[in-house]
Copies of this chain bind each other. A is one copy, B any other.
Amino acid sequence: MAKPIAVGLLGLGTVGSGVVKIIENHQDQLIHQVGCPVVVKKILVRDVYKERDVQVNTSLLTTRADEVINDPEIDVIIEVMGGIEETRRHLLQALQQGKHVVTANKDLMALYGSELLATATENGCDLFYEASVAGGIPILRSLVEGLASDRITKMMGIVNGTTNFILTKMCKYGMPYEQVLAEAQALGYAEADPSADVEGLDAARKMAILARLGFSMNIDLEDVQVKGITDITEEDLDYSKRLGYTMKLIGIAHRDGDKAEVSVQPTLLPDSHPLASVSDEYNAVYVYGEAVGETMFYGPGAGSLPTATAVVSDLVAVMKNMRLGVNGRSAVAPQYEKRLKSRSEIFSKYFVRIHVKDEVGAFAKITAIFAEQGVSFEKILQLPLKEKGLAEIVIVTHRASQQAYEDILQRLRDLEIVHQVKSSYRVEGNGN
């Protein structure tokens, strides 16, 4: 049998402890898959003497990162400590010394993924990060494997469990956002400061990671258009239900030719869309490949065991590549130049809800604005409002460019008879 592969861990929290346990308990299966044993050689911790729920020989523990990163016998660094700037320095240093890296850190990968992947490629190292997106779903590996014989043109994801939990409850019980958020916080599904989740930033990080990999293009976090769920009202959910839609916070990455668009925004999906029934804290990623067609991966988005399992899967992949001599080739630096679509090249259907003064000719003035931009209607509802002298108009458009639609919104807001544009959402069709 080949000689053991030595691993160093940065961090020994719940995910790190899970990784250590899996490596111990599944040594036989790991040897079966890879052809050699794996040993944990050093672990960076904050406090060597802390009580832990995994038994580790204290001689493995250290509080000095360089003792792990600079150990010449360590082949693979597993990063499960979290954090950004300091962690980035550790991983760059590890890669520069030719060590392969497995990380579960989505914040780091979204912000510094391009730099880290380039460094990995320069040094012939693997840098795998399956656990950073939808912890329990092997989505990144599926993308990489699919890419060997397919071309991925679209990915749509429910990649944030907190917001999906909140929207599911709002839809199901007709409860307002603030009340559901408070409940989610009480249950531990949302953090005390929920802004990274509810404002869409967490989902945007994951979509940047997915788009970068799936399109092999250096998509950065700032390339992702982001809108969160904080403005969604019970009225919006009620209309979406009546029109046969389900509201979800959807990340979309779409490629036409060599140009890409990436966004995260509340989106109305037809009830029959595979993503519409993904409920509660679950995640799912829908992928369209030219050869395979539609596929979807569904599972837990987080949790320490799913995440640890994903980390070990990456470790197995690194070890296989080491033994194959093909490290630094798959899942590394993007091969295409980044080209983003302009607003005039991004197309979608839209839902808009407007309060107008209940005057003769009001409806005609509104429809004229859409017509001038060449945007036609798929569905229209007009209803009287309790507020005196006002009517509510709900429109679902046919496909329009983002530019045309945003121009329409601006002109509607400027219109004297329009009291308020209450809300506006992207609408997806079925499938690709």
Q: Which residues of A contact B (CB under 8 A)?
A: 22, 26, 29-30, 32-35, 136-138, 141-142, 145-150, 272, 274, 276-279, 282, 284, 289, 291-300, 303, 305-306, 308-309, 312-313, 316, 320, 323-326, 329-330
Contacts and interface: CB of A to CB of B under 8 A. Distances in A.
Contact of A35 (B22, B26, B309, B325): B325
Contacts of A300: 292-295
Contact of A149 (B26, B34, B141, B294): B26
A148 B26 contact: yes
Contacts of A289: 309
Contacts of A146: 309
Question: Copies of this chain, how many?
Answer: 2
Given A148-B313, A274-B278, A324-B320, A136 B298 contact: no
A148 B326 contact: no
A53 to B, nearest CB: 15
Contact of A291 (B309, B325, B330): B309
Given A136-B295, A137-B295, A324-B324, 8 more contacts: A35-B326, A136-B292, A149-B309, A149-B312, A292-B300, A293-B300, A295-B298, A323-B324
Contacts of A329: 32-33
Contacts of A142: 138
B33 A148 contact: yes
A294 B294 CA distance: 21
Contacts of A274: 277-278, 282, 298
Contacts of A316: 145, 148
Contacts of A296: 284, 296-299
